[in-house]
Structure 1
């Protein structure tokens, strides 16, 4: 079945410019989304999704009321929601394996949805900008095509991507919106940024840095964040990066050096340092079991220690 845009077939799209030319209402909707005020999220009811991760839940969740992600430059943030069950999923996609990742997101929402409940799947895409390498453009087209390839009818509601998420600041192209959140109770999607990126922020970053695939990091049935088990081998060569200046790290470790947020380099350094301190991942996952985190009464994420 085709991917619908407000009950009209999307058709085959070869460029984002063509998409917005054919469907000008999407561009208007994107402009409206860009101008929405940034929402400050209470960390005590929030779940952060890192690059190459996704999380899904429903309004019945007593532990998470907002799912969010940020620091997306060429990456795209994806929200898929079923209007009947109100199950919702948020993912941070970087183009590593789009065609295998999109079915995971659809499955995550449908597995939390009662098939007899009337409603439809609605899609919100945010991210990318007019970068020189066209990485954003290619990811936009691939994500749209991958969703169009699903058997379910999916309605594109928000499409604030690449061309319409671009702004020029001091002669440099940058994204307008770097991060979004979705209110699990209402389904509202809004621009935001987050200071709380846990739990296990460095471990999760290390997983992605070492080539980990898209991972479901949340079990909504019991309110547990689940990380790993991950696999990586000792790589002392990466210590090289800690001897380089910030400009060099930015140039070679980013897909969009001119558009990264200010903390990008420090984030890379802390991830590399974590990998050097844990050259083998085995010690982080005793018995080959994942790390589990639950919400405390204070609202923090705390690791579950097995007895």
Structure 2
């Protein structure tokens, strides 16, 4: 189905949607231009010359300017407002609106007290909606990776994927189908009420599409950008309103190079936005919606779309184990993050993480000194949590390559494991070392039972909003470092 340019955030319809012949002609021209874009990206990846990567960015802007000018304007506006559309900013504004008893305060009062965030890691995807006891869904640390958000505006169902390679782009079909299935189920079950939205169940779905990732001069990211656009334009059977395309040159700033000498600090291109998230909330009737203090990106998209740093306390749970899947014998396809609201719902038994680590079923005792995969004794078990995530079993083992990587110095390790070593986040090396340590000191049986066949339920706890905001106000600047960012 063709990519459409929405006429307004709330309408969910295209300016060209009502004229079928014009849509077909426009679709063919856009498809042809995207194919040219893909060939340009492929040529840029095969050639070391930076000029080709720059020409890709300019070609992308020209295509959007010609076919989707409203999208280009909206993307640039969102990029300029990126610092205002953060998760912490939304949470702070929501609490402020709740305390002032303004319009809509009842809807956000619960989120002001406690916030539960579903964090999507590299190579993962999830689909959630209102009623799933999740307040936010977010992913970050995307440099050459791309974050793909799909939202059904009438039900508020959201799918988010962290795509890390061209080879897994076809896996986005599963995300699309899951969003459609959840949206149709909610429309049929709640037609006409707050959860059912404002679309009749018999009306065809038009989904909103959001893309964030890559930057100018990044040939890996350029090829991924073109592959994703080609997928949604030519391969997907669904109809989309492309709401945001913060990619390539549209997502570029400059940072001081971490490899520069003390006497000279040259700037390097870097992604302006590395994260994408959504506030999970029931859709509002556009005619009845009133502006609130926590509006922000809602004015652009009819939904709260987030970017910016994700607080450390919300980047989990079991982040190291989930990251280990990429290093072990995990799935080569994108992995779905499934939710379970009870052990029976997931069809598996719930175990406390420390209980698993110390279980007699383990092939060897779990080292108590490794904090990466053991929980404090006070951590509640998954059976006592309202919401849990399900980690399906996978095998891993320590190889000679893993041992060699673990012996490298920090900068050498970054060069060996990153596609963009000059602009990685400050926590990149420590995260990689945690994964390497778990690979060397743990066994799959420690988590998934003696036959490595038992899925693991991990509680997804809500975080006290007041505590989170206080911690961020004290440690936010220290975590981000003293980077100087210039938008290009």
TM > 0.5 fold call:
yes
**C-alpha spacing 1:218/1:299, structure 2 compared with 1 (3 Å):** farther
| Structure 1 segments (4+ residues) deviating >6 Å | 297-300
Equivalent position of 1:128 in the other structure: 214
Query: 2: distance between equivalents of 1:224 and 1:143?
Result: 30
2:454 paired residue among 289, 293, 299: 289
Contact 1:38 1:190 in 2 (8 A): yes
Aligned counterpart, 1:191? 307
Q: Which has the larger radius of gyration?
A: 2
Q: Where does residue 176 of structure 2 map in the other structure? A: 106
Secondary structure of the structure 2 residue equivalent to 1:209: coil
Tell me which of 145, 155, 158 is aligned to 1:85: 155
In structure 2, what is the Cα distance between the partners aligned to 1:142 and 1:298?
37
Local SS of the residue matching 1:160: strand
Distance 1:164 1:236, change over 3 A: same
Does the Cα contact within 8 Å between 1:76 and 1:126 map onto a contact in 2? yes
Deviations 1:41-78 (A, max 9, x none): 468311110000011111122x2111001111000111
Secondary structure of the 1:159 match is strand
**1:202 has 2:320 as partner:** yes
1:154 match: secondary structure: strand
Gaps of 5+ in 2: 7-13, 17-26, 38-56, 92-113, 188-200, 257-266, 284-302, 343-386, 466-488
Give the whole-Å Cα distance in 1 for the aligned partners of 2:255 and 2:463.
41
**Larger deviation: 248-257 or 188-197?**
188-197
Find out whether 1:17 has 2:180 as its counterpart: no
- Asked if the contact 1:78–1:124 (Cα under 8 Å) also holds between the matched residues in 2, the reply is yes
**Is the contact between residue 51 and residue 92 of structure 1 (CA under 8 Å) also seen in structure 2?**
yes
Q: In the alignment, which residue of structure 2 is the partner of 1:216? A: 336
Q: Map of 1:166-185 to 2, 5 A cutoff?
A: 166-170=252-256, 171-185=267-281
Higher relative helix content? 2
- 1:117 CA displacement: 5.7
Q: Give structure 1 stretches of 5+ with no counterpart.
A: 301-307
Within-5 A mapping of 1:251-262: 251-262=415-426
Matches within 5 A, 1:17-36: 17-24=58-65, 25=69, 26-36=71-81
Q: 2-side partners of 1:219 and 1:299: how far apart?
A: 21
TM-score (norm 1): 0.88
Distance between the aligned counterparts of 1:293 and 1:225, measured in 2?
Answer: 5
2:396 aligns to what SS in structure 1?
coil
Rate the CA distance shift 1:270–1:5 in 2: closer, same or farther, 3 A: same
- For the pair 1:60 / 2:131, whether they are aligned, the reply is yes
Whether the 8 Å contact between 1:45 and 1:64 is mirrored in structure 2 is yes
CA distance in 2, matches of 1:33, 1:233: 44
Q: State how 1:148-159 maps to structure 2 within 5 Å.
A: 148=233, 149-159=235-245
Deviation at 1:260, TM superposition (A): 0.8
What secondary structure is seen at the aligned counterpart in 2 of 1:47? strand
Q: Distance in 2 between matches of 1:19 and 1:275?
A: 41
* TM-score, normalising length: structure 2: 0.57
User: 1:214: how far off?
Assistant: 1.0
Superposed CA offset, 1:159-204 (max 9, x none): 0011110112342010000112111116321212211311111100
Taking the aligned partners of 1:297 and 1:136, their CA distance within structure 2 comes to: 34
Q: 1:239 to 1:38 in 2, by over 3 A?
A: farther
CA RMSD in angstroms, aligned pairs only? 2.3
Deviations 1:187-231 (A, max 9, x none): 321212211311111100101233533111123776431112112
Which structure has the highest strand share of the two? Answer: 1
Q: Do the aligned partners of residues 296 and 249 (structure 1) sit closer, same or farther apart at CA in structure 2, a change above 3 Å counting?
A: closer
Provide the secondary structure at the position in 2 that maps to 1:158: strand
Aligned to 1:45: 116
1:221–1:283 CA distance, 2 compared to 1 (3 A): closer
